[in-house]
Amino acid sequence: ETGVTQTPRHLVMGMTNKKSLKCEQHLGHNAMYWYKQSAKKPLELMFVYNFKEQTENNSVPSRFSPECPNSSHLFLHLHTLQPEDSALYLCASSQDPSGGVYEQYFGPGTRLTVT
Amino acid sequence: GQSLEQPSEVTAVEGAIVQINCTYQTSGFYGLSWYQQHDGGAPTFLSYNALDGLEETGRFSSFLSRSDSYGYLLLQELQMKDSASYFCAVREDSNYQLIWGAGTKLIIKP
């Protein structure tokens, strides 16, 4: 596997379910991100991890819980979601941006539908 | 507040040239990025401008004017495969965050 992978690619869950999204990066990067993408809206940054430490939590509801056990893996635990949480959830990774060109590498995303 | 403005949709003809503009209002500025996203796909990096001027990479070029808080992506010799959404994003400070525009859907007609 190369790049950034995400599983599952599609997920349908009820509002009372608990599920987890998984992201893995094979690029040796030190930062990982969770984004929410809704139609015709800017990407919303949810969480940032730098060297496994959470550095940003952009006012995300507690029904979303991130976990970063090491610099290659990132999880997003979901529980008691709402229908408005239906969206594409993207994982990304990057190297230290201090080196100049700053590029984020994205996974294919998980299409989440909350019923 | 922080905001990036870009057109929601642009239509062009195959073989033509198209320019997608982006204006930004942020508290700081380190650089402007452009990403491409095909329907059902992941955003992929196109370019990053930290300094004023034009950067060229094949058929794609990106321009930045920091004094005008403005940039654009120029696509030449358009091909049908260029039909996608294009996002501008600003790196506002020394941390890892990007602030994103809402994206421009590029429609290419034969």
* Whether A54 contacts A47, CB under 8 Å: yes
Chain position carrying tokens 């859907």: B105
**CB neighbour list of residue B108: distance below 8 Å, 6 or more residues apart:** B11, B12, B13, B14, B78, B79, B80, B82, B83
pLDDT, tens digit, 9 for 90 and up, residues B50-80: 999 999 989 999 999 999 999 999 999 999 9
What burial letters (b/e) apply to A51-74, b meaning 16+ CB within 10 Å? eeeeeeeeebeeebebebeebbeb
Q: Between chains, do A90 and B43 touch, taking CB under 8 Å as contact? A: yes
pLDDT, tens digit, 9 for 90 and up, residues A29-76: 989 999 999 988 889 999 998 876 777 777 899 999 999 999 899 999
Q: How many CB pairs under 8 A join A and B?
A: 61
Return the closest-CA partner of residue A65 out of A43, A49, A50. Answer: A49
pLDDT, tens digit, 9 for 90 and up, residues B87-96: 999 998 877 7
Q: Using CA atoms, how far apart are residues B47 and A9, in angstroms rounded to an integer?
A: 27
Collect all residues of chain B within an 8 Å Cβ-Cβ radius of residue A40.
8, 102-103
What is the pLDDT, as a whole number, of residue B95?
78
Chain position carrying tokens 């590498």: A105
What is the pLDDT, as a whole number, of residue A100?
67
> Is a pLDDT exceeding 70 seen at residue A99?
no
Collect all residues of chain A within an 8 Å Cβ-Cβ radius of residue B97.
45, 48, 56
pLDDT band of residue B99 (cuts 50, 70, 90) is: very high
B77: left (phi over 0), alpha (psi -120 to 50) or beta: left
Q: Using CA atoms, how far apart are residues A111 and A88, in angstroms rounded to an integer?
A: 4
Summary mean pLDDT of chain A: 90
Q: Between chains, do B96 and A106 touch, taking CB under 8 Å as contact? A: no
What is the pLDDT, as a whole number, of residue A66?
94
* Whether B86 contacts B63, CB under 8 Å: no
What is the pLDDT, as a whole number, of residue B2?
82
What is the pLDDT, as a whole number, of residue A39?
85
What is the pLDDT, as a whole number, of residue A60?
92
